[in-house]
Homo-oligomer: A and B are copies of this chain.
Amino acid sequence: MRIPIDRDSEIPLYQQIETYIRQGILSGSIASGTRLPASRVLANDLGVNRITVENAYAELEADNLVHSKVGSGTYVMPSYPTPSLPKDVPGAPWPLWQQDLEASRGSRLSDELETQITSSRHPDLIRFDSGVGDSILFPVEEFRKILQAVLRRDGLLALEYGDPLGYAPLRSTIAHVLASQGLQTNPENILITAGSQQAITLAAQLLLKPGDAVIVESPTYARVLELLQTLQCRVVSIPVDDQGMQIDGLEILLQQHHPRLIYTIPNFQNPTGSCLSLNRRRHLLSLADRYNVPILEDDYVGDLRYEGHALPALKALDPGGRVIYVSTFSKMLMPGLRVGFLVADGPVQASLLHFKRMSDLATSNLAQRALESFVTVGRYQAHLHRACQLYRKRRDTMLRAIRGSLPAGVQVCPPQGGLFIWMRLPEGLENDQLLPLALAEGVSYAAGECFFNNRKGGAGFMRLNFAAQSPERIETGIRRLGKAMRRLRPFTAK
């Protein structure tokens, strides 16, 4: 019996031995009926006194875990029965309530597509399907020093549950960053969340119940579509063009469906890349106000602008309490830190805070403090500038590669910012045939279906992330995509 003992530990040796054996018995790795080594033998093996081993055995016997038979040895007693798991018993069913769950679980298309991609065996898959930027921009070294410094400066405070609204200095910094972008906020109206996904989920869970209608753009962010479907909401779609949501068609939908929420991505919309024009922003606010419908504004990547000028956020045009604004540092800076935020005013702010507290009692305090230390408005602007330079080049590289390597008949609308190019496939090409071929060639993309409530609407579209790959990889990947397309349609010119 190999028992690891630590002579420098404060824990007495007999107790270390006892604990080791106890755990073995409780976990079943030392089976009942096993004869333990004679105390003299074990003591010799471990290099301890015999009395030490005997004390350990005595403690175990006092708890009926072992039994010493005089002249025979010390044996492990049978204890509570080890449950046999249904997996061990072929055909044993899960309880009914679990079977019902399985039946009612809708399919999760974006998960299935992701699985299809990640199970590709290609040794050098170039991935254009991801939803985030390139983490190479992130200054790991600098950030590591900051984490050190925060722990040194704040000690245990950094590891406590923090303010449920979020670390106050960080909320203040966010308010400054937003102000530099033209959005005036009060830090008390800012709620830090675990990424923008949590902010959106919080708002949805607070405001919606099964059967409620929600207005969304078509296409829109796949994860939010799935969230709404999971919450059993009625998704009411409104088409998007190169100026964003087609607001002309909104009023009739409001009248007919009485939605409880409008979800919109006004800047560099995911997946189309379009921006909602200023006129349409005003129009949207006016309609939402008249019909008493809250707006959830998802500004996850509004900073990443390569040309043109920023339009005011819907929140900046909000007379008060009409818009819940959501954003994140993930896409811009550091996904793994999982820090996002929402801005809301009015009673809804307290309700959102309450809901958040119920879910996880505050976002990681350490991450927030480190982020606050790292993000000054100046540093943020500088990082933004570097990101925009890098991503602009990559966008241009991808657009060139598309023109050069893909069949005529693809259509793209070059985005003014963000991470994605939204592409329409040539007539007759669809993802269910194309994606497997693309994966075989060694390139992945985000198939259009998961961005539409009615999936078929996306069969002829794809979303390509240009931000996460180097220019060389972009060119290679688009070439591979071209090959795959031509395998489907060899007679297509080029």
- Rounded to whole angstroms, the CA-CA distance of A367 and B11 in the bound complex is 28
> Smallest CB–CB gap between A418 and chain B, Å?
18
Are A354 and B111 in contact (CB-based, < 8 A)? yes
- A95–B357 Cα gap in the complex (Å)? 25
Q: From DSSP, what is the main secondary structure of chain A's interface residues?
A: helix
Within 8 A of B (CB), among A304-326: 309-310, 312, 316-322
Task: Knowing A135-B156, A201-B360, A359-B197, say if A162 contacts B85 (CB, 8 Å).
Answer: no
Interface string of A132-163 (1 = CB under 8 A from B): 10011010100110011001100110111110
Question: Residues of A within 8 Å of B, CB-based: how many?
Answer: 117
Q: Report Cα–Cα, A11/B382, bound state, in Å.
A: 8
Docked-complex contact A195 and B360, CB < 8 angstroms: yes
A258 vs B130: C-alpha distance when bound (angstroms) = 44
**A494 CB, nearest partner CB in chain B, Å:** 37
- Residue A337 at the B interface, CB < 8 A? yes
- A181 close to B (CB within 8 Å): yes
A63 at the interface (CB under 8 A from B): yes
Query: In the complex, are the beta carbons of B151 and A80 less than 8 A apart?
Result: no
> Contact: A160 with B336, CB < 8 Å?
yes
Sample 19 A-B pairs with CB under 8 A, ordered by A number: A23-B180, A26-B180, A27-B179, A27-B182, A63-B309, A84-B320, A87-B345, A94-B321, A97-B207, A97-B292, A101-B347, A138-B156, A158-B336, A197-B360, A230-B354, A230-B355, A230-B358, A337-B364, A337-B366
Chain A positions near chain B (C-beta within 8 angstroms):
4, 6, 9-11, 19, 22-23, 26-29, 63, 80, 82-87, 92, 94-99, 101-102, 105, 108, 111, 132, 135-136, 138, 140, 143-144, 147-148, 151-152, 155-156, 158-162, 179-184, 193-195, 197-198, 201, 205-207, 209-210, 223, 226-227, 230, 260, 278, 282, 289, 292-294, 309-310, 312, 316-322, 334-338, 345-348, 350-351, 354-355, 357-367, 378, 381-382, 385-386
